[in-house]
């Protein structure tokens, strides 16, 4: 459903000679901030600081960090997690926001203790502290009022997001345009969130995601899965598509090509050369 919907918007934009974000009501010249995703866990906190500083030096005004430990590691893991995030926070300037991603890795008891430890550290959100289906658990964590809760990348269609909104399970909704039902459905989720007073910061960077973000006033950030700071530039994976807008100084470049603006990379997929 998502792929077909994105393809239709691409075809309409191409036929009209206009970028999709303009068809969605986005204005020329609008800029959004990209946050760098993400600082990876490392037992060497000096390396953790280096990764955080690398993103800051590249102009990002938001940085997201993964957590090294979970419930199986007990109190030792909890304290190590806090030292990890404190190292990242200390390395970043005051005007750089810090996000975090537990990626469905905690249980309720561990999550409660983590949020208590994080309270006051200025973390913008904890993402998916519990498995996505535990909507009541996310609502319970949000009710604690300690750290904002973000979730939604594993929800599908607007009905899944209606459930999150009704349950009060999130401060930040994170739909993925490639999962939720495409551009049409992502725009509906943004409208629903606006009525509920919630932020929408979509999951994962892509051209299709950017077109929607540029058209929605409630989307002030976009996630950017960067070339990881622990990889060399010669280790970059060959992209499947060409034409994705680059992020420069922490801001995505404005799309200029008609439609979504992508084309098949024949070098990466020679079997699709005829399609190109």
Which residue in this structure is represented by tokens 């946050």? 35
Q: Which helix (H) or strand (E) holds 72?
A: none
Q: How far apart are CA 222 and CA 251, in angstroms?
A: 9
Closest Cα partner for 243 from 226, 263, 223, 222?
Answer: 263
User: Are the C-beta atoms of 142 and 125 separated by less than 8 Å?
Assistant: no
- 199 - beta bridge partners? 172
Give me the helices (H) in the chain, please.
2-16, 20-23, 45-57, 74-91, 108-118, 135-143, 157-167, 182-196, 207-213
Q: What is the token pair recorded at 86?
A: 């404190």
Catalytic choice (84, 138, 178, 203): 203
Q: Work out the burial of residue 205: count CB atoms within 10 Å of its CB; fewer than 13 is exposed, 13-18 middle, 19 or more buried.
A: buried
Residue 62, H or E segment: strand 62-66
By the 8 A CB rule, do 35 and 221 touch? yes
Q: Using CA atoms, how far apart are residues 266 and 272, in angstroms rounded to an integer? A: 7
- Catalytic: 211? no
Active site positions, annotated: 203
């Amino acid at each position: 459903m998502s792929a077909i919907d994105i393809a239709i918007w691409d075809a309409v934009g191409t036929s009209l000679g206009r970028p999709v974000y303009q068809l969605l009501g986005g204005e020329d010249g609008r800029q959004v901030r990209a946050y760098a995703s993400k600082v990876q866990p490392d037992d060497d906190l000096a390396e953790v600081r280096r990764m955080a500083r690398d993103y800051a030096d590249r102009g990002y005004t938001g940085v997201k960090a993964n957590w090294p430990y979970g419930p199986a590691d007990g109190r030792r893991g909890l304290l190590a997690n806090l030292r990890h995030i404190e190292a990242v926070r200390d390395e970043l300037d005051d005007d750089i926001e810090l996000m975090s991603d537990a990626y469905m890795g905690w249980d309720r008891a561990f999550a409660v203790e983590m949020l208590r430890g994080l309270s006051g550290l200025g973390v913008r959100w904890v993402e998916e502290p519990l498995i996505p289906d535990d909507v009541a658990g996310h609502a319970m964590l949000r009710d604690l009022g300690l750290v904002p809760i973000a979730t939604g990348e594993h929800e599908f269609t607007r009905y899944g997001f209606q459930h999150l909104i009704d349950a009060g399970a999130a401060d930040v909704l994170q739909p993925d345009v490639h999962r939720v039902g495409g551009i049409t459905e992502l725009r509906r989720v943004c409208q629903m969130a606006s009525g509920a007073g919630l932020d929408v910061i979509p999951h994962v960077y892509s051209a299709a995601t950017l077109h929607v973000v540029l058209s929605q006033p409630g989307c002030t950030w976009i996630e950017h899965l960067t070339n990881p700071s622990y990889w060399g530039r010669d280790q970059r994976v060959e992209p499947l598509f060409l034409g994705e807008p680059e992020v420069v100084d922490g801001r995505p470049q404005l799309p200029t090509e008609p439609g979504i603006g992508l084309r098949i990379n024949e070098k990466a997929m020679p079997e699709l050369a005829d399609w190109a």
